[in-house]
Amino acid sequence: MSEIEILNAQNAISITKPNKTMVDYYLFDEFEVHKCIIPPYSIQEWHMHEVIEEVIVVTEGVITVKWKEFDLIKTQRLPKDTILRVKNSVHNIENSSNINAEFVVFRMVPTGISKIEIIKNDKLLFNDFLK
Protein backbone atom coordinates (compact mmCIF):
# COMPACT_ATOMS: atom_id res chain seq x y z
CA MET A 1 0.00 0.00 0.00
CA SER A 2 1.08 3.57 -0.63
CA GLU A 3 1.63 6.08 2.10
CA ILE A 4 -0.48 9.20 2.48
CA GLU A 5 1.17 12.42 1.35
CA ILE A 6 0.35 15.58 3.30
CA LEU A 7 1.34 18.89 1.74
CA ASN A 8 1.24 22.51 2.82
CA ALA A 9 2.40 25.87 1.46
CA GLN A 10 6.05 24.93 2.09
CA ASN A 11 5.67 22.20 -0.57
CA ALA A 12 4.14 24.54 -3.14
CA ILE A 13 5.61 26.68 -5.86
CA SER A 14 4.27 30.07 -4.77
CA ILE A 15 4.06 33.07 -7.05
CA THR A 16 2.25 36.37 -7.33
CA LYS A 17 1.14 36.99 -10.90
CA PRO A 18 1.31 40.46 -12.54
CA ASN A 19 -2.48 40.71 -12.03
CA LYS A 20 -1.77 40.29 -8.27
CA THR A 21 -3.31 36.81 -8.00
CA MET A 22 -1.35 34.79 -5.43
CA VAL A 23 -0.98 31.14 -6.41
CA ASP A 24 0.38 28.08 -4.61
CA TYR A 25 1.04 25.38 -7.23
CA TYR A 26 1.14 21.70 -6.25
CA LEU A 27 2.44 19.67 -9.21
CA PHE A 28 1.99 15.92 -9.53
CA ASP A 29 2.78 13.49 -12.35
CA GLU A 30 -0.78 13.33 -13.73
CA PHE A 31 -2.56 16.40 -12.35
CA GLU A 32 -2.06 19.72 -10.62
CA VAL A 33 -3.83 21.48 -7.78
CA HIS A 34 -3.39 25.13 -7.08
CA LYS A 35 -4.80 27.48 -4.49
CA CYS A 36 -5.46 31.05 -5.58
CA ILE A 37 -6.18 34.28 -3.79
CA ILE A 38 -7.38 37.00 -6.12
CA PRO A 39 -7.39 40.41 -4.44
CA PRO A 40 -10.18 42.98 -4.74
CA TYR A 41 -10.71 44.52 -8.17
CA SER A 42 -8.19 42.20 -9.87
CA ILE A 43 -8.71 40.65 -13.28
CA GLN A 44 -6.90 37.67 -14.77
CA GLU A 45 -6.04 37.85 -18.45
CA TRP A 46 -8.25 36.21 -21.07
CA HIS A 47 -6.89 32.76 -21.88
CA MET A 48 -7.71 29.19 -22.79
CA HIS A 49 -6.04 25.80 -22.57
CA GLU A 50 -5.59 23.56 -25.58
CA VAL A 51 -5.23 20.31 -23.65
CA ILE A 52 -5.67 20.99 -19.94
CA GLU A 53 -9.06 20.73 -18.24
CA GLU A 54 -9.64 23.00 -15.24
CA VAL A 55 -12.17 22.57 -12.46
CA ILE A 56 -12.43 25.51 -10.04
CA VAL A 57 -13.93 25.40 -6.54
CA VAL A 58 -14.68 28.78 -4.99
CA THR A 59 -13.74 28.58 -1.29
CA GLU A 60 -14.10 32.21 -0.13
CA GLY A 61 -15.78 35.32 -1.47
CA VAL A 62 -17.20 35.67 -4.97
CA ILE A 63 -15.44 35.47 -8.33
CA THR A 64 -16.82 36.48 -11.69
CA VAL A 65 -16.06 34.27 -14.66
CA LYS A 66 -16.41 35.55 -18.20
CA TRP A 67 -16.23 33.31 -21.22
CA LYS A 68 -16.61 33.68 -24.94
CA GLU A 69 -19.41 31.68 -26.50
CA PHE A 70 -19.44 32.18 -30.26
CA ASP A 71 -19.57 35.98 -30.68
CA LEU A 72 -20.97 36.62 -27.18
CA ILE A 73 -19.24 37.31 -23.89
CA LYS A 74 -21.11 35.60 -21.06
CA THR A 75 -20.69 36.49 -17.39
CA GLN A 76 -21.54 34.62 -14.20
CA ARG A 77 -20.86 35.49 -10.56
CA LEU A 78 -19.78 32.44 -8.56
CA PRO A 79 -20.13 32.52 -4.76
CA LYS A 80 -18.38 30.33 -2.21
CA ASP A 81 -18.99 26.58 -2.66
CA THR A 82 -19.62 26.88 -6.42
CA ILE A 83 -17.81 24.51 -8.78
CA LEU A 84 -16.89 25.65 -12.28
CA ARG A 85 -15.77 23.32 -15.08
CA VAL A 86 -13.92 25.53 -17.56
CA LYS A 87 -13.50 22.94 -20.36
CA ASN A 88 -11.66 24.51 -23.32
CA SER A 89 -13.38 27.90 -23.20
CA VAL A 90 -11.74 31.26 -23.72
CA HIS A 91 -12.23 32.73 -20.25
CA ASN A 92 -11.07 35.04 -17.50
CA ILE A 93 -11.70 35.40 -13.80
CA GLU A 94 -12.05 38.57 -11.80
CA ASN A 95 -12.80 39.75 -8.31
CA SER A 96 -15.03 42.80 -8.47
CA SER A 97 -15.60 42.94 -4.71
CA ASN A 98 -13.68 44.77 -1.99
CA ILE A 99 -12.46 41.58 -0.23
CA ASN A 100 -10.16 38.74 -1.31
CA ALA A 101 -11.71 35.84 -3.19
CA GLU A 102 -10.18 32.37 -2.95
CA PHE A 103 -10.49 29.29 -5.11
CA VAL A 104 -8.84 25.93 -5.71
CA VAL A 105 -8.07 24.79 -9.25
CA PHE A 106 -7.74 21.15 -10.25
CA ARG A 107 -5.95 20.75 -13.58
CA MET A 108 -5.67 17.51 -15.50
CA VAL A 109 -5.15 16.28 -19.04
CA PRO A 110 -8.20 14.27 -20.11
CA THR A 111 -7.70 11.20 -22.28
CA GLY A 112 -11.21 11.10 -23.77
CA ILE A 113 -11.88 7.78 -22.04
CA SER A 114 -14.64 7.78 -19.43
CA LYS A 115 -13.43 6.70 -16.01
CA ILE A 116 -16.81 7.19 -14.30
CA GLU A 117 -17.29 3.50 -13.41
CA ILE A 118 -13.78 3.27 -11.95
CA ILE A 119 -14.31 6.45 -9.91
CA LYS A 120 -17.72 5.32 -8.65
CA ASN A 121 -16.59 1.81 -7.72
CA ASP A 122 -12.94 2.03 -6.66
CA LYS A 123 -13.30 1.61 -2.91
CA LEU A 124 -12.19 -1.42 -0.94
CA LEU A 125 -13.52 -1.71 2.61
CA PHE A 126 -11.30 -2.85 5.44
CA ASN A 127 -13.85 -3.13 8.25
CA ASP A 128 -11.82 -5.83 9.98
CA PHE A 129 -8.61 -3.80 9.73
CA LEU A 130 -9.12 -1.90 13.00
CA LYS A 131 -10.38 -4.87 15.08
Query: 124: pLDDT confidence band, cut at 50, 70 and 90?
Result: confident
Q: Are 26 and 33 in contact (CB under 8 A)?
A: yes
User: In angstroms, rounded to a whole number, what is the distance separating the alpha carbons of residues 62 and 58?
Assistant: 7
Q: Note the pLDDT tens digit of each residue in 50-83.
A: 999 999 999 999 999 999 999 999 999 999 999 9
Ramachandran angles phi, psi of 38, nearest 5°: -110, 115
Structural domain boundaries in the chain: 9-121
pLDDT of residue 131: 60
Q: Are 69 and 21 in contact (CB under 8 A)?
A: no
User: In angstroms, rounded to a whole number, what is the distance separating the alpha carbons of residues 117 and 114?
Assistant: 8
Q: Are 84 and 123 in contact (CB under 8 A)?
A: no
User: In angstroms, rounded to a whole number, what is the distance separating the alpha carbons of residues 118 and 39?
Assistant: 38
Ramachandran angles phi, psi of 117, nearest 5°: -65, -40
Query: 126: pLDDT confidence band, cut at 50, 70 and 90?
Result: confident
Q: Note the pLDDT tens digit of each residue in 85-116.
A: 999 899 999 999 999 999 999 999 999 999 99
What CATH architecture does domain 9-121 belong to? Answer: Sandwich (2.60)
The yes-or-no verdict on residue 34 having pLDDT over 90 is: yes
Q: Which of 97, 102, 49, 55 is nearest to 80 (CA)?
A: 102
The yes-or-no verdict on residue 129 having pLDDT over 70 is: no
pLDDT of residue 127: 73
